[in-house]
Structure 1
Amino acid sequence: MKRMILTLTGILLFCHMQAQDLTQLHFKVEEAPEWSALFIRNNGWFGGDGIYTIPFNGVENKPADSLLFIFSDSMIGTISNDSLQPGFRMVHNSVAIMKGKNIDFAWGHNEQDESVSVFEPNTPRTEKTDYYWLGDGFVNQEQHNTLYIFGYRVRNVSEEAFGFREVGNTLIKIPAGTPPPFTGYEQMDTPFFFTDKGGQIGSFGAGIFVNTAKAGAPAPDGYVYIYGVHGMDKQMVVARVKPAVFDHFNQWRFWDGTKWNKDMNKVADVTSKVSNELSLSPLPDGRYVLIFQEGGMGMTIGMRIGASPIGPFGPVIRLWDCSRDAEEKTYVMYNAKAHPALSAPGELLISYNVNSLEFFTDLPKHPHLYRPRFIKLKFN
Structure 2
Amino acid sequence: MAGSSKTVGAALLAGVALCGVLGTSALAATTGPAAGTVPADRCSAGAPYHSRGPLGTPTATANTEVTEAFRTFGNNGGGWPNQGGWAASDGVYSTTVPGKGVVWLMNDTFLGPVNQDESMTEPGFIHGSILLGGADGLPDTTITGGTRDEPKSIADPPGAVDGDPWYWNGDGIMDGGKLRVFEYRIGKTDGEPPWNFGWISTDIVTYTEDFKVERVTTSYGEAGGVSWGTELVQCGRHTYIYGLKDNTIHLARARAGGLTGNDWEFWNGSGWSSDPHSTVAITTDVGASYSITPMGGEFVLTTTSAAIFTDHRVYVATAPTPIGPWSPKTPVYTAPEGGVGNLYAPYNVAAHPGLSKPGELVISYNVNSQQGDDLLANANNNRPRFVTIRF
1:99-178 correspondence runs (5 A): 99-101=134-136, 103-109=140-146, 113-122=149-158, 129-140=164-175, 143=176, 145-157=177-189, 158=191, 160-175=193-208, 178=209
Q: Kindly indicate whether the alpha-carbon contact (under 8 Å) linking 2:226 and 2:250 is maintained by their aligned counterparts in 1.
A: no
Structure 1: distance between partners of 2:346 and 2:193: 18
Runs of 5+ unmatched residues, structure 1: 1-9, 18-23, 58-63, 196-200, 213-221
User: Normalising by structure 1, what TM-score?
Assistant: 0.80
Q: Kindly indicate whether the alpha-carbon contact (under 8 Å) linking 2:180 and 2:204 is maintained by their aligned counterparts in 1.
A: yes
User: Normalising by structure 2, what TM-score?
Assistant: 0.78
Correspondence for 1:361: 373
Counterpart of 2:267 (choices 236, 255, 261) is: 255
Structure 2: distance between partners of 1:203 and 1:268: 13
Matched, 1:245 2:258: yes
Q: CA deviation at 1:194?
A: 4.6
Q: Kindly indicate whether the alpha-carbon contact (under 8 Å) linking 2:61 and 2:387 is maintained by their aligned counterparts in 1.
A: yes
Question: 1:117–1:316: structure 2 CA closer, same or farther, 3 Å change rule?
Answer: same
Deviations along 1:117-164, one digit per CA (max 9) or x if unpaired, are: 1111116xx676100000101112xx2x11110000112335623332
Counterpart of 1:186 (choices 215, 223, 230) is: 215
Structure 2: distance between partners of 1:15 and 1:238: 14
Counterpart of 1:293 (choices 297, 301, 304) is: 304
Greater gyration radius: 1
Q: CA deviation at 1:65?
A: 7.5
| 3-state SS of paired residue (1:281) | strand
Counterpart of 1:205 (choices 202, 215, 229) is: 229
Q: Kindly indicate whether the alpha-carbon contact (under 8 Å) linking 1:296 and 1:335 is maintained by their aligned counterparts in 2.
A: no
Structure 2: distance between partners of 1:297 and 1:156: 24
Q: Kindly indicate whether the alpha-carbon contact (under 8 Å) linking 2:337 and 2:367 is maintained by their aligned counterparts in 1.
A: no
How well do the aligned residues superpose, as a CA RMSD in angstroms? 2.5
Deviations along 1:10-60, one digit per CA (max 9) or x if unpaired, are: 99932999xxxxxx9413211100111111122221111111111013xxx
| 3-state SS of paired residue (2:257) | helix
| 3-state SS of paired residue (2:288) | coil
Q: CA deviation at 1:84?
A: 2.8
Runs of 5+ unmatched residues, structure 2: 1-32, 41-54, 78-84
Q: Kindly indicate whether the alpha-carbon contact (under 8 Å) linking 1:276 and 1:296 is maintained by their aligned counterparts in 2.
A: no
| 3-state SS of paired residue (2:289) | coil
Correspondence for 2:131: 96
Correspondence for 1:229: 244
1:43-122 correspondence runs (5 A): 43=77, 44-57=85-98, 66-101=101-136, 103-109=140-146, 113-122=149-158
Of all paired residues, the percent bearing the same amino acid is 25
- Structure 1 stretches of 4+ with a deviation exceeding 4 A read none
Correspondence for 2:66: 35
Q: CA deviation at 1:326?
A: 5.0
Amino acid at match of 2:59: K
Q: CA deviation at 1:85?
A: 4.3
Structure 2: distance between partners of 1:16 and 1:93: 37
